Amino acid sequence: MSAPALYSPDLARDMIRKGEWLKPTSGVSNGFIQANLAVIPKELAFDFLLFCQRNPKPCPIIDVTEPGSGIPELAAPTGNIKTDIPKYRIYRHGEFVEEKTDVTDVWDDNMVGFLIGCSFTFEDALLTNGVPIRHIEENCNVPMYQTNIPCVKAGAFEGPMVVSMRPMSEKDAIRAVQVTSRFPSVHGAPIHIGNPRAIGIKNIHQPEFGDPVTIKDGEVPVFWACGVTPQAVAMNVKPEIMITHAPGHMFITDLKNEHFAII
Amino acid sequence: MSAPALYSPDLARDMIRKGEWLKPTSGVSNGFIQANLAVIPKELAFDFLLFCQRNPKPCPIIDVTEPGSGIPELAAPTGNIKTDIPKYRIYRHGEFVEEKTDVTDVWDDNMVGFLIGCSFTFEDALLTNGVPIRHIEENCNVPMYQTNIPCVKAGAFEGPMVVSMRPMSEKDAIRAVQVTSRFPSVHGAPIHIGNPRAIGIKNIHQPEFGDPVTIKDGEVPVFWACGVTPQAVAMNVKPEIMITHAPGHMFITDLKNEHFAII
């Protein structure tokens, strides 16, 4: 069997569905968009969709399922968000309840699934352009921080933007702006370069989510809007039930990264 | 008083609200985004928002009002979509009923307003780049055509894409792709260049909407997804009530065209 990087998305999802792949999906089906998942009750879906529409940098929508359906018709018509993610998390009234490898038994006809872009896409583009990525070098999770940048409210959904950070040389930071600007539908250009305090981050060495990474002399921190934002904001609303992917265990779509490049 | 092109959006909306400007808004508050309007009942709003999300080229959303509110908080916090458009059209069950200059008396708490990007933004960028626009030269409406390109369905909303057409030299067509690619949130790059039959247009000289324009020897027709699409699609659903702007009578926002350029 070929390397996971070469699996077709369909094969990768099939293996995940059968329980043959239970690990994080980083490096699987290279070149294809992977997505964050947030499933919420239909009653909240309009406000949540509006929230994402109003905050496209942290909440870039890749696909939304019809109420009750697990099939993302646009992103992966042969896939199913109830079964094709290696590890899910279930939250009730905003509290974490359990992890599962299949959510068919907690699914009901009232649920709407949101697939939201993740940074894998633009990281791939950065690497292709010779911009090194520290957390990949250090084999850990990207550091993520809560900022003082308010998202635009929609209905009950509101809260601060969460950002991810990648340190790099100033020369690379300029190239990173160019490279990631090509992908407005998957977080796009950085939202901040430089002084962390300017966006309310007190200690760059203590991320709220993920792991700290080394920042070398002469490097600047470069911040991107992060797909954790919509999950964090939805959690605040304490929906009766909410299903997400477990960190790093993403939904693999049929859409090519390059399909999302605007130029 | 200064020229209409120099009116601030706030002043322009104020004049419209007071009935002091009842004409089309082309050329007013130059450099600011103008938007199409579609107001529909809340029950349909999620599916319509999803339709727009799934079809961003014909349906680029600029702002959506909270149910019942006339205020587009993002696009024009001092504006009101019930009063600040010079001419509205009211449709009941998909049938045109009347034109009004203010829709406060038909408004109810169940209504959601969608402001959708229009081609004025990228036409401005084309002109700045020296690409001539035929329907402006000939002082008529842009020609628009129904195509055989299906939009992606969402709930009850489905139908073919409507496109606008601008004929130009092949050299200008290449520049037009570059220039309009900068504006993915207001229709973006063309969806087709060349043979009209390839997208189901039988007679380029007989547009379904707007006016025919001259196509000179050596020119190619260049087609963009058109903001008439979501209105046409919504009309098919025959909502109990639907309010739109009258053609050419747009909502003027506080957002600068350049704000929507991705690079």
Q: Over the stretch A196-242, which tens digit does the pLDDT of each residue have?
A: 999 999 999 999 999 999 999 999 999 999 999 998 999 889 999 99
CATH 3.40.50.300 for domain B120-228, yes or no, is: no
Q: Which of A54, A64, A181 sits opposite B74 (nearest CB)?
A: A54
Q: Quick check: helix, strand or coil at residue A95?
A: strand
Say which DSSP state B247 is in.
Answer: T
With cut-offs at 50, 70 and 90, classify the pLDDT of residue B261. confident
- A174-189 confidence digits (pLDDT tens): 999 999 999 988 899 9
Closest to B40 measured CA to CA, from B112, B95, B89: B112
Q: What pLDDT does A2 receive?
A: 74
- B159-189 confidence digits (pLDDT tens): 999 999 999 999 999 999 999 999 988 899 9
CATH of A4-119+230-260, one of 3.40.50.970, 3.40.1640.10, 3.30.360.10, 3.40.50.2020: 3.40.1640.10
Q: What pLDDT does B65 receive?
A: 94
- Whether residue A181 and residue B263 make contact (CB cut-off 8 A), yes or no, is yes
How do the domains of chain B map onto residue ranges? 4-118+230-260, 120-228
Residue B53 with chain A: CB contacts under 8 Å: 49, 53, 61, 64
Q: What percent of chain B has pLDDT over 90?
A: 85
Does residue B1 have a pLDDT over 70?
no
Cα–Cα dist B113/B134, whole Å: 32
- A51-76 confidence digits (pLDDT tens): 999 999 999 999 999 999 999 999 99
Q: What pLDDT does B69 receive?
A: 95
* Mean pLDDT of the A112-118 span: 95
Handedness of CA A34, A36, A37, A43 (dihedral sign): negative
Q: What percent of chain A has pLDDT over 70?
A: 100
H or E, element range at B61:
strand B61-64
Residue B66, Ramachandran bin (φ over 0: left; ψ between -120 and 50: alpha; else beta): beta
ipTM score assigned to the predicted complex: 0.81
Give the chain B residue whose CA is nearest to the CA of A52. B53
Q: Which of B50, B74, B181 sits opposite A263 (nearest CB)?
A: B181
- B91-120 confidence digits (pLDDT tens): 999 999 999 999 999 999 999 999 999 998
CATH 3.30.2040.10 for domain A129-229, yes or no, is: yes
Virtual torsion, Cα B195, B198, B203, B209, nearest 10 deg: -100
What interhelical angle do B45-54 and A42-54 show, nearest 10? Answer: 40
Alpha carbon of A60: minimum distance to chain B alpha carbons (Å): 10
Helix then strand then coil, in percent of chain A rounded to 5, is 30, 25, 45
Residue A74 with chain B: CB contacts under 8 Å: 54, 152
Residue B186 with chain A: CB contacts under 8 Å: none
CATH-assigned architecture of domain B4-118+230-260: 3-Layer(aba) Sandwich (3.40)
Largest CA distance in chain B: 54
Residue B184 with chain A: CB contacts under 8 Å: 184, 262
Residue B116 with chain A: CB contacts under 8 Å: none
Cα–Cα dist B87/B99, whole Å: 7
Scanning the structure block, which residue is given the tokens 């900068």? Answer: B182
| Best residue in B40, B42, B43, B46 for a mutation probing chain A (most A CBs within 10 Å) | B46
